[in-house]
Every structure is written in structure tokens, then in C-alpha cells.
Chain A
Amino acid sequence: MTRRFSLPFNMTRFAKWLLVGSVFLYLYVPIAVLVANGFNEHKYGTEWRGFTLKWFEKLWHNTNLMDAAGHSLVVAVSSATLATLLGALGAIAMYRYDFRGKKFMGGLVFVEMMSPDIVLAIAFLLIFMALGISLGFWSLLLAHTTFCLPFTIITVFSRLNNFDNSVLDAARDLGASEWTAVRKILLPMSAPALIAGWLLSFTLSLDDVIISSFVSGPGYEILPIRVFSLVKIGVSPEVNVLATLMLVLSLTLVLLSQWILKRK
């Protein structure tokens, strides 16, 4: 086979690996610093004072921080999933159907992306109070799903955008129901975008502070707020250790799933 398809950039091997290498370096050097400081004797990490596991041990006893991390994961997984589900439906609707208010829907997605966090935060809290939704898991889920939604809609829609609608119509003419046609053709087709949208949503949800601090309640603390409110006494390296654990966990899961896929 000719490898000519990669020619538009004529990336020589060197240029290619230079690019990929520098991007990963850019992404991971700060992470390396962060991880190193989880094991640094120096509390403020401005210089290396020797290896220690004391922060690890402290974290182990800090149940509040661990609980908050658990809550954050639960909220992030559920809101990313819900946002991807809703977003995929929305993107399919925009791609496949003509309906009144389609442009309006696009407008709302835009408005949502442009609304400053603090405005959304206050609006959400007011609506939750008006509807009598108590602050906790559900309010977080609703709010996070909402601010993730534009990202999933845009990602999936851009993937479907140039796809030829007539393939679906052909399937319909052959007697497939709309749902079957969508499931058999559009969903597999948008899989990479679904994954991309989910990952982006998960990332956004995991790190949100402003909106969450307004819509979370006393019984259900999440990690970013817990960490940001540490500034009064100083962020301790325990947080770095916690981040390291999450990195290790996610890397293990990824490598494990790779291995399983390969075995299949």
C-alpha cells in the first residue's frame, strides 16, 4: 500500500514525532511535577526535599477528602452519561429532522455556552429552590448535565454533519423503523464523537467549582469545592496524592481494557 494519504502535511517521521512528543511533553510535565510533589517532604513543593509517604498516609485518614472524591466521580460519570445521551439525541434531531424551532435550539446551545458560570450558578439555584429540589446529588446532576450538554451536541453534530441522509432514507424505504435505522447506522457512525463528548463532559464535570458551589448541599460535598476552599489554610500535598491515585487508577483501567480488547 502506498502511504500517500498522509502526504498533505508531508510530515517526515521526524516532524511527526517531534510534534507528538512535544504535545505529550507539554501535557505531562506539569502532571509529573504535580505527582512528584505528592511525595515531596517540602509541604509547598517549591524544591525537592526528599521522598516521603506522609501525605499518602494523611490522605488515607482524610475521609472527607476521599468521600468528596467519590461523590465527584459519581456525579461526573452520571452527568457525562446523561449529557451524552441527551446530546446525541439532540444532535441526531438537528441533523436528521426539520422541525420548528431548530434554529432556536441551536441558538440556545450557543447561549448556554456563552453564559458566564456565575449567571448559570445563580439561575440554577433559583430554579431549584422554586421547584423544591433539595441541594445534593440531584441538583448537581441536573446542573452538570446542562453545562455539559452543548459540548456533546456540538461534538456529535459536527461528526454527523456531512453524512449523507439518503442512506438512512434508503434503510427506511427497505422497511426499517426509524429507531432501527438510527441505531444501526447513525449510532455506530457517531461512536467516536460519543466517546469524545463523554470524555469532555466527564472532564468538565470533575473540575467545576463556581456552579457546583451554588448547587451543592451540605450532605453531598464534591472534590473541587473541597480543594478550592482549602486556600485559607493552604492546599496540602494530600490533594496531589489523591490526583496521583486517580491518574494511576484511570491509566490502569485504560491499559486493562486495551489488554482485554487485544485478547478478544
Chain B
Amino acid sequence: MNVKKWCALLALVGVNGLAQAGEQVVVYNWSEYIPEDTLQEFKKETGIEVVYSTYESNETLYTKLKLMKGAGYDVVVPSTYYLNKMAKEGLLQKVDKTKLPNFTNLDPDLLNKPFDPNNEYSVPYLWGSTGIGINVKNIPKDSITGWQDFWNPKFKNQLLLTDDVREVFHMALRIKGHSANTTDEAQIKEAYEYLKELMPNVLVFNSDAPREPFLSGDVSLGMIWNGSVVQSREDDPNLQYIYPKEGAVFWMDSFVIPSGAKNVANAHKFINYMLKAEVAKVCVEYVGYATPNKAGKALLDDATRSDPVIFPDKATLDAGEFHNDVGDAVLIYDKYWQLLKAGK
């Protein structure tokens, strides 16, 4: 049968893709979260090939690594609380800072956070926030100052919220004066009751990228990632970003080394390379999120460096909160999340 022959031939082609030898480091990350040129430069400098694999959510990353018992990848880039969770469950190994001379480039203000005290397991790569997105053509910018404004009845059926339980509860918890990392059921329930009042205002929970409904004119107010606003400014300057007065959600994507990594030495070399000031600068320009790399930030042009959307001041940073792993309280959050969505 002809088909069989083709099949065999194609299978051979498929297998060839696998045959790779020599020094390598296997990186598991979001698509194009590191510029391709940077990866090429790294290879030129060290002779180590970067095998770049991608995942589409932190959940997938976590579950896959958990199932594979931390093997299969050398460097992964989880967000804030997933890193916390992975470290707690023994999926990560400690990073050897003596092999990371460039670690000193990092901004001490962004190190030693509660999700990884002393940065034993993680090296920050990029960070950002979830705050308020607003189309200033339709809503005056100074009329909105905080999460609380979302509850205004005039926004009936107009808001965009991210489809993320922790971020949505963050708003209500902060308004009620609680920590967004609370594990206290009474506080979570209080937030849930308050969020129920918000539901008539919600048009959409966005599960892919919150920017696009703003740009297409379907929403004018809602939650958004600061990087999204920065990236689309050129195309549509009307979409702007506000740090809510009750505190934004901050997150950090960090390099970590899974416990079962094969190329640990190369992983360190790779992370150290990514910490170079010039590399950090290129990454910010490419991706649009902030770098925790002080030396890299210094190389950026004035406009970017002093852009309060990308680099909020310390007061704004302190007003917000990084999300931590809440352990088993995730069940409480998920329970109320389901109730919220099911409208009960």
C-alpha cells in the first residue's frame, strides 16, 4: 500500500527531529518569552544548544512536571505561586549562586519575596502586574482610581475580568482590607459575597489575552496585564493602565531548575547568561514586561526606564501583593469560584 510507505517515510522524518547530540539545555517556557536571537547568541558564546519547549498555562507546566517527577527539563519559568508550590513539593533544586556571578545585577527590592525567601530556588526573570485597563476614549481616566469603581452600577454588563480565581478574589479581598493570600474561609466567603454583587457588571471572564476585547471596542474597563497595555500602545494609545489604589496583583516569572534536571551545569550557565545586563535589556524591549535586573534597566532608554506603567515606584509596589501558594485553601477558593460562576 502506498499509504504505508508514506507513513514510514514520514515517521523517519519525524524521528530525525529527535536526534540531537552535544551540549544542550532544555528550557520549558512560554512561546517567544525569550527572543530567538538571545538563544542563538547564547549558543555562539557557550556552544550549548537551547532546546526551547513551550507550555500554555502554569497549570499544565506544574502538572506535567509533577507527573514526570521533575525530570525532562533543565530550566522552567513558573509564575509566582506555582514556584512556591513546586519548591514545597520537592520538584525544584536549589540554585547554586556561586555559579551565577551575574546574580548581583538584580534589584534587591525584588528579591527575597515571601514566595521564595532568600531566592534559594528561583532567579527572577520578568515581572509585571494585573491592574485596571481603561479605554480613555469612552471613560474619563480620572474617574477611575481603584477596584472599588468596578462595583458602580453604571458599568452593568461591561467589565472584563481575568479568568483567574486568585486575581478576581484579590480585588474583593483587598477592598475588604484582607490579604490576597488569605487562607481564612470567613474572609474568602466575605469576598465571595461581595463579588456576587459585581457579577451583573461582568461581561466577560477573559481566559486567553485580556487586551483584545479592549482593542476591538467590546469593553472599555476591566482587569488587564500591564505588559499588554505597553505592547499595544503603539497601535492604540487609548488603552491605558491604572494601578488601583487598593493594590495591584503582582507576579514574577522566575527561572528555576527542576529536581530531575539532567544538565544542571548548563542550566546555571543559561540562567547566568540571562542575567547579563545587555540580555535583560533586550528581553524587556522584546517582551514589554519589567525586568528585575537593575543593571539591565540602567541600559534602557529614558522613556522606558521612567515609564510608570512598566516600572511602578516603590510605594505602588508595596501597596500591591505578590500571590503566594495558599496550600489547601485552594479548595476553598475553587469552591466559591464555582459558586460565583454558577450564579448561586
Contact = CB atoms under 8 A, between A and B. Distances in A.
Interface of A: 42-44, 46, 62-64, 67, 71, 74-75, 77-78, 81-82, 85, 122, 125-126, 129, 135-138, 141, 209, 213-214, 216-221, 225-235
A142 to B, nearest CB: 12
Given A44-B235, A232-B31, A221 B14 contact: no
Interface in B1-56: 3, 6-7, 10-11, 13-15, 17-18, 20, 26, 28, 30-33, 36, 51-56
B60 A213 contact: yes
A221 B53 contact: yes
Nearest to A230: B31
B258 to A, nearest CB: 12
A20 B11 CA distance: 39
A224 B249 CA distance: 29
B217 interface: yes
Contacts of B55: 213, 225, 229
A233 B56 contact: no
B67 interface: yes
A232 B17 CA distance: 27
Contacts of A46: 212, 215-217, 236
A233 B288 contact: yes
Contact of B72 (A81, A209, A217, A233): A217
Interface of B: 3, 6-7, 10-11, 13-15, 17-18, 20, 26, 28, 30-33, 36, 51-56, 60, 63-64, 67-68, 72-73, 208-209, 211-212, 215-217, 227-228, 231-232, 235-236, 287-288
B67 A122 contact: yes
25 contacts: A64-B36, A71-B14, A71-B17, A74-B10, A74-B11, A75-B14, A77-B10, A78-B7, A78-B14, A81-B6, A125-B64, A126-B67, A129-B68, A137-B14, A138-B15, A141-B14, A213-B60, A213-B64, A218-B52, A225-B54, A229-B30, A231-B30, A231-B208, A232-B31, A232-B33
Given A64-B52, A226-B54, A232-B31, 4 more contacts: A135-B72, A218-B26, A225-B55, A231-B208
A214 B66 CA distance: 11
Given A122-B63, A233-B288, A228 B14 contact: no
Given A74-B14, A229-B30, A230-B31, A62 B287 contact: no
A233 B7 contact: no
Given A218-B26, A234-B211, A228 B56 contact: yes
A141 B13 CA distance: 13
A43 B234 CA distance: 10
Given A213-B64, A231-B208, A233-B288, A136 B13 contact: no
Contact of A81 (B7, B51, B56): B7
B16 to A, nearest CB: 9
Contacts of A229: 30-31, 54-56
B282 to A, nearest CB: 14
Contact of A82 (B7, B26, B53): B7
Contacts of B68: 125, 129
Nearest to B228: A234
B334 to A, nearest CB: 15
Nearest to A62: B36
Contacts of B53: 216-218, 221
A74 B52 CA distance: 20
A125 B211 CA distance: 34
A97 to B, nearest CB: 22
Contacts of B17: 67, 71, 136-137, 219-220
Nearest to A77: B10
Contacts of B20: 219
Nearest to B8: A78
A122 B11 CA distance: 24
A135 B18 CA distance: 10
Contacts of B216: 44, 46
B221 to A, nearest CB: 17
Contact of B56 (A44, A64, A209, A220): A209
Given A136-B18, A221-B53, A225-B54, A233 B30 contact: yes
B13 to A, nearest CB: 6
Given A209-B56, A218-B26, A44 B33 contact: no
Nearest to A73: B10
A122 B66 CA distance: 11
A225 B30 CA distance: 10
B67 A44 contact: no
B30 A218 contact: no
A48 to B, nearest CB: 13
A126 B63 CA distance: 12
Contacts of A78: 7, 10-11, 14
Contacts of B51: 218-219
Contacts of A137: 11, 14-15, 17-18
A62 B212 CA distance: 23
Nearest to B59: A118
Contacts of B6: 77, 81
Contacts of A74: 10-11, 13-14
A255 B131 CA distance: 51
Closest 7 pairs between A and B when the two form their complex, measured CB to CB:
A137-B14, A228-B56, A229-B54, A218-B53, A232-B30, A229-B31, A229-B56
Nearest to B207: A231
A141 B7 CA distance: 11
